[in-house]
């Protein structure tokens, strides 16, 4: 399986020094966990952060020169330059650092390519019949299995296992400048456009529940019974989503 990891010219927000963001390191980790060839891809010139990212497990990073805005450049590269041998997977971090940093790029690229996208991926399983099984990381350590059709874009969870930094790889990594047809890169216009909406007051669930005064006191309950009561109460408050099919405790 061939994977491509999208890399940004990461800048450390505190020091301003080159530093790949955690999410991109995690994406490299996912790409390596699948096995097969993994390469880096960056829309822009070779920056020192790319070499630091490659230290986590990439032998080569292609740096795109030209091609319009980042999404167009990446899409053109994937369609034209990899046309004969297209990647099965494109992986990205949650948010770039040192560019526009909107976190929108993978979504815009998925829209442009017409590929499915899954975010918050914490582990990748096996591929079968053109489908890939992945594990999504949810808040508070919850995990959810999912399947996605290949080829697809996966956005790595920041907490996905990060491969170690190896200086030997950094110094051997090849940063290749690839000219891409199209206008010179301009500041991506409209990439992070959104609608201005007036402030909307949202219901405060915890405050609201405290005011209701309703509740149920259980004295030394059975564990299963207590769990059921708690779950139903949280569902009633809308904190937990409705039951989805057969759950292990049902």
Partner 1 sequence: MRWLVLAEMACAGAAVALVWMVLLARWLKGRPVGRSWLAGLVLVPRRYLVDVHHVVARRPRNARMHALAAGGLLGGSLALLLGVLPGMPPVPGFIIRIVAIVFFVPGAWGALIDRARRRPHTPSQLSGGAFVWLPVALLAWCVGNVVVALSVSDTGLHAAGLAGLALALAGGVALLVAVGRGPMRHGLAGIAWLTGHTRPGRFARAGLLRPFDTALWPLDLVHERLGVLTPRDFTRPELASFDACIQCGRCEEACPAFAAGQRLNPKALIQGLSGAMRERPAPYAGSPAPHAPAMPGGGGMDAEIVGQVLAPDTLWACTTCRACVEECPMLIEHVDAVIALRRGQTLMKGAVPAGAEQVLRASREQAEPGGRALDARTDGIAALDVPVLAPGEETDILLWLGEGAYDLRYGRSLRALVTLMRKAGLRFATLGADEVDCGDVARRLGDEATFQALARDAIGVLGTRRFGRIVTADPHAFHVLKNEYPALGGTWVVEHHTTLLDELVRDGRLVLAQRDGPAVAYHDPCYLGRYNGVIDAPRRLLDAACRTRVEVERHGMRSMCCGGGGGSPASDVDAVTRIPDLRMEQVRQSGASIVAVACPGCTAMLEGVTGERPEVKDVAELVLEAVVP
**Applying CB under 8 A, which of residues 36, 145, 149, 167 lies at the interface with partner 1?**
167
Contact 56, 171 (CB under 8 A): no
**Applying CB under 8 A, which of residues 84, 126, 130, 168 lies at the interface with partner 1?**
168
| Stated length of the chain | 250
165 near partner 1, judged by CB under 8 A:
yes
Least Å distance, CB 165 to partner 1, is: 5
Paired residues of 80 in beta bridges: none
Nearer to partner 1, 15 or 247 (CB): 15
29 near partner 1, judged by CB under 8 A:
no
∠ CA(7), CA(8), CA(10), 5° rounding? Answer: 125
Between CA 8 and CA 32 the distance in angstroms is 18
Candidate ranges 28-36, 73-81, 163-171, 228-236; the one touching partner 1 (CB under 8 A): 163-171
Find where tokens 């815009």 sit. Answer: 108
Nearer to partner 1, 81 or 165 (CB): 165
Torsion of the alpha carbons at 161, 162, 168 and 172, rounded to the nearest 10 = 110
Q: Name the region of 189 (left: φ>0; alpha: ψ -120 to 50; beta: rest).
A: beta
Contact 136, 74 (CB under 8 A): no
18 near partner 1, judged by CB under 8 A:
yes
12 near partner 1, judged by CB under 8 A:
yes
Nearer to partner 1, 12 or 111 (CB): 12
Nearer to partner 1, 14 or 206 (CB): 14
101 near partner 1, judged by CB under 8 A:
no
Least Å distance, CB 57 to partner 1, is: 9
DSSP string covering 49-113 = HHHHHHTTT-SEEEEEEESSSHHHHHHHIIIIITSSS--SEEEE-SS-SSS---S-HHHHHHHHH
Least Å distance, CB 33 to partner 1, is: 16
Least Å distance, CB 167 to partner 1, is: 4
19 near partner 1, judged by CB under 8 A:
yes
Report the site for partner 1 in 171-190 (rule: CB under 8 A): 171
DSSP string covering 187-223 = --SSTT------------HHHHHHHH------SS--H
155 near partner 1, judged by CB under 8 A:
no
52 near partner 1, judged by CB under 8 A:
yes
Report CA torsion sign: 172, 178, 183, 184: positive
Nearer to partner 1, 49 or 74 (CB): 49
**In the complex, which residues of this chain contact partner 1 (CB under 8 A)?**
12, 14-15, 17-19, 52, 55, 163-168, 170-171
């Amino acid at each position: 399986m061939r994977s491509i990891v999208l890399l940004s010219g990461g800048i450390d927000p505190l020091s301003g020094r080159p530093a790949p963001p955690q999410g991109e390191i995690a994406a490299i980790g996912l790409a390596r966990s699948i096995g097969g060839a993994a390469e880096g891809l960056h829309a822009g010139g070779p920056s020192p952060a790319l070499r630091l990212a490659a230290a986590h497990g990439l032998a080569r990073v292609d740096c795109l020169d030209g091609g319009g805005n980042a999404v167009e450049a990446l899409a053109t590269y994937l369609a034209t330059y990899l046309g004969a041998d297209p990647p099965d997977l494109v992986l990205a971090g949650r948010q770039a650092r040192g560019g526009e940093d909107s976190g929108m790029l993978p979504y815009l690229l998925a829209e442009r390519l017409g590929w499915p996208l899954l975010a918050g991926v914490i582990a990748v399983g096996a591929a079968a019949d053109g489908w890939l099984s992945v594990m999504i990381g949810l808040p508070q350590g919850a995990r959810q299995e999912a399947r996605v059709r290949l080829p697809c874009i996966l956005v790595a969870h920041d907490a996905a296992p990060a491969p170690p930094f190896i200086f030997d790889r950094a110094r051997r990594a090849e940063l290749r400048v690839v000219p891409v047809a199209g206008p010179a890169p301009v500041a991506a216009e409209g990439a992070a456009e959104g609608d201005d909406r007036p402030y909307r007051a949202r219901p405060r669930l915890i405050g609201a529940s405290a005011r209701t005064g309703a509740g149920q006191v259980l004295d030394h309950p059975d564990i299963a019974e207590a769990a059921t009561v708690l779950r139903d109460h949280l569902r009633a408050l809308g904190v937990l989503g409705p039951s989805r099919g057969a759950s292990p405790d049902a």
